[in-house]
Amino acid sequence: MPAIQSITNIPSHVVQEEHASIVASTPLSFNDIPPVIKHKEDNVTVAVDPPIQGFSDDELKGTLYILTR
């Protein structure tokens, strides 16, 4: 998966407190645990230099989500 990925839907995620509860219950598979949201920032502009293949603009605008996965 690329380090920067443009998406149209918010990815499935949990907050840190939910994550702690999930792992405390010993899930059947740790692969089923959703990523934890570490930070969300609205109305951001990200300048990409050098440009990334697949993105038509040098600047990307939107909401930035930083997840553990």
| Secondary structure percentages of the chain, helix, strand, coil, to 5 | 15, 30, 50
Q: How far is CA 44 from the centre of its chain?
A: 14
pLDDT given at position 1: 52
Q: Summarize pLDDT for 23-68 with one digit per residue, the tens.
A: 787 767 777 788 899 999 999 998 877 777 776 666 778 888 888 8
Domain boundaries, position 31? 16-67
Note whether residue 9 is domain-resident: no
Q: Give the Cα separation of 23 and 32 in Å (integer).
A: 11
| Residue with the larger pLDDT of the pair 3 and 59 | 59
Note whether residue 11 is domain-resident: no
pLDDT given at position 27: 67
Number of domains in the chain: 1
Note whether residue 10 is domain-resident: no
Q: Give the Cα separation of 4 and 67 in Å (integer).
A: 12
For the chain, state the CA radius of gyration.
15
| Residue with the larger pLDDT of the pair 66 and 11 | 66
